[in-house]
Structure 1
Amino acid sequence: MENTLATWWPMAAFFFVSSITPGPNNIMLASSGLRHGFRRSVPHMLGISAGCMAMLLVVGMGAGQMFVRWPLLHTLLKLACGAYLLHLAWRTATAPTSLAAAPAASAPETDRPLSFWQAAAFQWVNPKVWAMILGVVALYIPSGPFALQLALAALIAGAVNLPSISVWTWFGVGLRHWLRSARRMRAFNRVMAALLVASLVPILGM
């Protein structure tokens, strides 16, 4: 039991550092918190955590070995990730410069927060999440009944990830008072878009 606990704490710390540091998820959450508020961004946050947990379970049970057997899949994943991030960067850069106070039936597609399923699906093309999941499976899963340990690791991932990423959503909410002008809002959107494009750099070294 003591050896298991000694492994869980470093794993939780690894999840915390991986979750709270800048990356595509957190950049998008800061933008969503600013544009749509905390409540409307909740499905986005839940989708991220659920997607990470699902990835950990699937990859831990052996799906990650597909990349070893078929390297082309890894290349296709990188291309899909890059294309989707560029799409999100364009969507962010061209977002309206007025803040959304409430959902509107006439709101344009570019001004809607990500849904639960969109956010969950995005984790499969997020290079930072892949690095986190593969690192956990390779280094932190304790010995013992592997399926049980993997399930516990997924629960720890969700428990650590959700409050960590919510910090970035609150950060975006806190900026609402400072970005009331269209000029500042446009500049913020473009900076967020540039950061998303910059997050493509890790893909080049994968």
Structure 2
Amino acid sequence: MTFEILSALMLFAFVSSITPGPNNLMLMASGANYGVKRTLPHMLGVASGFTLMVVLVGLGIMQLFDAFPITYTVLKVLSVTYLLYLAYKIATSSKAAQGKSATAKPMTFLQAVMF
């Protein structure tokens, strides 16, 4: 890996970890709603998932997509299907489900890694 590629990857990792993206906003909301102690698994999951993503990019996951173009198409189809599922869940949620309920809980470690 050349210095230019490594420095670009490090800059991407730094900027992505400090900008107010969805993970940071979810952590802020979870901390406010459930407290820091109950949000720790979520925090660790976000850090682990981000690290995993950067490592996979660094190892050249795009080479897999170049070698097997169908995998890229499958990833796109799965991604769009998941986004449509999320949109459906949001569109069909009731007002009662939007408030804080007694059974509400923060994201688990694995859920945060996958997000």
Q: Fold conserved (TM > 0.5)?
A: yes
Q: 1:79 to 1:41 in 2, by over 3 A?
A: farther
Figure out how many residues of one structure are paired with residues of the other and give that number: 104
State whether structure 2 residue 56 is matched by structure 1 residue 58: yes
Partners in 2 of 1:65 and 1:31 — Cα distance? 37
The Cα offsets for residues 148-181 of structure 1, whole Å up to 9 and x where unpaired, read as xxxxxxxxxxxxxxxxxxxxxxxxxxxxxxxxxx
Seen in structure 2, the aligned counterparts of structure 1 residues 14 and 47 have a Cα distance that, compared at 3 Å, is same
Question: For the residues of structure 2 that align with 1:113 and 1:17, how far apart are their CA atoms?
Answer: 25
What is residue 35 of structure 1 aligned with on the other side? 33
- 1:58-81 C-alpha deviation (Å, 9 max, x unpaired): 343343312223344334434444
With over 3 angstroms needed to count, the CA separation of the structure-2 counterparts of 1:25 and 1:73, relative to structure 1, is: farther
Structure 1 runs not aligned, ≥5 long: 99-106, 123-206
Give the match for residue 121 of structure 1: 114
Other-structure match for 2:98: 95
1:82-124 CA-partner distances (Å, limit 9, x unpaired): 525826x838x843246xxxxxxxx43xx221111111122xx
Matched residues in 2 for 1:78 and 1:38: separation?
35
User: Offset at 1:48?
Assistant: 1.2
Cα gap change, 1:16 to 1:56, in 2 (>3 Å):
closer
Residue 110 of structure 2 aligns with an amino acid whose one-letter code is W
Which residue among 66, 69, 73 is the counterpart of 1:68?
Answer: 66
Q: How does 1:134-145 map to 2 (within 5 A)?
A: none
Q: TM-score, normalised by structure 1?
A: 0.40
- Note the C-alpha offset of 1:29: 1.7
In the TM superposition, what is the alpha-carbon distance from 1:12 to its structure 2 partner?
4.8
Does 2:112 correspond to 1:112? no
* RMSD (Å), alpha carbons: 3.2
Quote the Cα distance in structure 1 between the aligned partners of 2:16 and 2:99.
31
TM-score, structure 2 as length reference: 0.63
Matched-pair identity in %: 40
8 Å contact from structure 2 (residues 9, 58) kept in 1: no
> Shift of the alpha carbon at 1:43?
0.8
Cα separation, 1, equivalents of 2:56 and 2:14: 21
